[in-house]
Every structure is written in C-alpha cells, then in structure tokens.
Amino acid sequence: MILDRIEELLKEVSELSASNAEEIEALRLKYLSRKGIINDLMADFRNVAADEKKTIGMKINELKQKTTERINELREQAETAEATGDDIDLTRSAYPVELGTRHPLTIVKNEIIDIFTRMGFVLADGPEVEDDLHVFTKMNFAADHPARDMQDTFFVEQSALGDVTKNILLRSHTSSVQARVMERQQPPIRIICPGRVYRNEAITARAHCFFHQIEGLYIDKNVSFTDLKQVLLSFARELFGADTKIRLRPSYFPFTEPSAEMDISCHICGGKGCGFCKHTGWVEILGCGMVDPNVLELCGIDSKVYSGYAFGLGVERITNLKYQVSDLRMFSENDVRFLREFEAAR
C-alpha cells in the first residue's frame, strides 16, 4: 500500500543525519530530485483510486515538506559547526584561491586547432630541439640558405657521426614535424603541427626570439591548389566571421612551389582601409603553397603519384588580429593585469 510506504518514509526522514555538505546533498538527491523517492511516489500516485487521491496526495505533500525541512535543518547544523570551528580543515588555504584563466595564445591556438580538426586534420607533435636534417635539409633548404646562419638560428651543438657532422638546433619552424611524419607514414596524410619555435631575432614590440606556429600538411593523390584555397577560406571565415574575404599573393618558400601569402579583409574597417591594415583593407595572416616535389622525394614519398599542400601561421599574429595587442612582449611577461583581460574568453 502506498500509504504504508509514505508512513515508513516519514519515520525514516525524521531520523536523517549527515555530517557534511556532501552527505546532505546526497540526501537531497535521494529524496527530492527528479529521480528521487518522492518523485517516484508521484508517479505511483497516478494509479491511485479516485476516492483515495485526496488523502494520499496530502500525505505525499506532508512527506515532501518534512523532508525539505529536515534537510534544511541538517544544512544549518553543518554551517553552524563549520563557523564555530568544530570541523576545521587545517590543510585549507588561509585565503580564497582565485580561479585563473587560459593564456590568450592558448585560447586562440585551441580555437584554430578546433577548426582544423573539424575539417579532418589530426594533431602531430615533434621535438623542439631538432637536427639540421629535419629542419632544413628535408624541407629543401639550400646549403647556403640564410636561415642556416647563426645570425638567424639558435644552434645548440655539433656532433660527428662518422664522416657526417650533425648540427643540433632549436627548431625555427614546425615544418620539422611534417618531415618526421612523412618519413614514417605513407599518404594519405592530413596533419596540423602546433608548437613553439625559435629564431635569433632582437626582442621588440613586433618580434621575439620565440613564438608559436601552427602548420598544416595534406598529401594524397590529385590534391590541387583549389583544395588549399577552399580550406583556407573556410578557416578564415570560421575564425574571423562569415563575411571575411581572402586573397593569395605569389611568394617564395623553399618547401612549396608554387607558394603564396594569404591576406584577409581587415575585420576592423571591413576592407575600407584603416591604420591597423595600413589603409590597404588587407592583413597578412599566413604562408602556404603546394608541397615541392623535392620535399616529397627527400621524405620517401613518390612525387609522381602524390601531391599535397602546406600552410603555416603564427599564433601571435592571429591573436594580435583578434584582440589588437600592440606589443608582442606582453604575451611572455606574465603580467596578471594583462592576462585578466581574457577571463571572458576562456
């Protein structure tokens, strides 16, 4: 009988006890939640005969009221005990610990990664301390290319392997990750490579000796420049808005041919021209191109069968565009006042 069940619960509720907030919340969920005991009684109430509904309905309401009152009593007792020091946690911090926020570079990096992973790209990672082979040689850099000079690259050491001298350096781009993936995996390959890179540059408001890149690589049969353009257009509109336009300008990179730099329409002035875009209506955000056949061959992939595209963008550059941060040094100085400005973006 449902009345007998209610009477049992009334007695049970009057004897409820709990010693902390977690136990009190567990009792509330057990009796008063959607999946709780009293809610189950309400479901059974639908099957009660019409002449008994009034009596049983009043009893259910009484049970709900007494349960609520008892749980509130237990909550007050627990709060009083905590306030009087009956249950002091000596390991607890003496002051409130404020919640932090993600770094603006992390916010933007995660947003970029999310866009490309939804397009089918997978994450790839590699070492920051690399060798000359993967950073330069397999990326089709000439032996006398300026990027190999000490004025541009941080060299760590030279090690001799037989008659071969192996240069160890801090990677100057994340293309070395692409080289390592192509060495051990045959196409199709569709990856993005986020990471920190290093270049021997003077630290100013517009440049730093370390920064963050995200590079992408897609290799398969019959990959064309049109595929690259569509992916980059979709990316730009996802990140900067549906009205964003792009343009590709011819450029040169050792590892792609043909190569291009991509601009987006300035989202501040809408392409009309302003100080931010130097009154051109366009802002450069990345470099891209079709993977040079020499790169494919150097990494063990048949360039007569496969083709591909690659692109690379600077996370700091994109973050500047989104948040208009005027000084790159602010990203690495850990000024809490600056970081708190991004609490709403986390």
SS (H, E, C) 30-75: HHHCCCCHHHHHHHHHCCCCHHHHHHHHHHHHHHHHHHHHHHHHHH
Contact criterion met (CB below 8 Å) for 171 and 152: no
**Is residue 315's pLDDT more than 70?**
yes
Beta bridge partners of 168: 131, 157
**Is residue 162's pLDDT more than 80?**
no
2 contact partners, CB below 8 Å, separation of at least 6:
41, 44, 45, 48, 56
Q: How far from chain centre, in Å, is Cα 338?
A: 20
Contact criterion met (CB below 8 Å) for 138 and 126: no
Closest to 312 measured CA to CA, from 219, 180, 181, 191:
191
pTM of the model as a whole: 0.67
Per-residue pLDDT averaged across 22-30, rounded?
87
The per-residue pLDDT for 300 is: 93
Extract the runs of DSSP E, i.e. beta strands, from 86-244.
122-123, 129-131, 155-161, 164-170, 189-198, 210-220
Query: Which segment of 15-29, 144-158, 203-217, 246-260 scores lowest on mean pLDDT?
Result: 144-158
Tokens for 38, please give them.
Answer: 């009293």
Residue 104, judged by CB atoms within 10 A of its CB (0-12, 13-18, 19+), counts as buried
Q: Phi and psi at residue 26, in whole multiples of 5°? A: -65, -40
The per-residue pLDDT for 116 is: 96
User: How far apart are alpha carbons 311 and 192 in whole angstroms?
Assistant: 9
Q: Mean pLDDT over all residues of the chain?
A: 86
45-64 per-position pLDDT tens digit: 777 787 787 887 888 888 88
246-299 per-position pLDDT tens digit: 999 999 999 999 999 999 988 777 777 777 678 888 988 899 999 999 999 999
84-135 per-position pLDDT tens digit: 655 566 777 777 777 777 888 999 999 999 999 999 999 999 999 999 889 9
DSSP-derived letter for residue 305 is T
User: How far apart are alpha carbons 263 and 281 in whole angstroms?
Assistant: 10
Left, alpha or beta for 41 (phi > 0: left; psi -120 to 50: alpha)? alpha
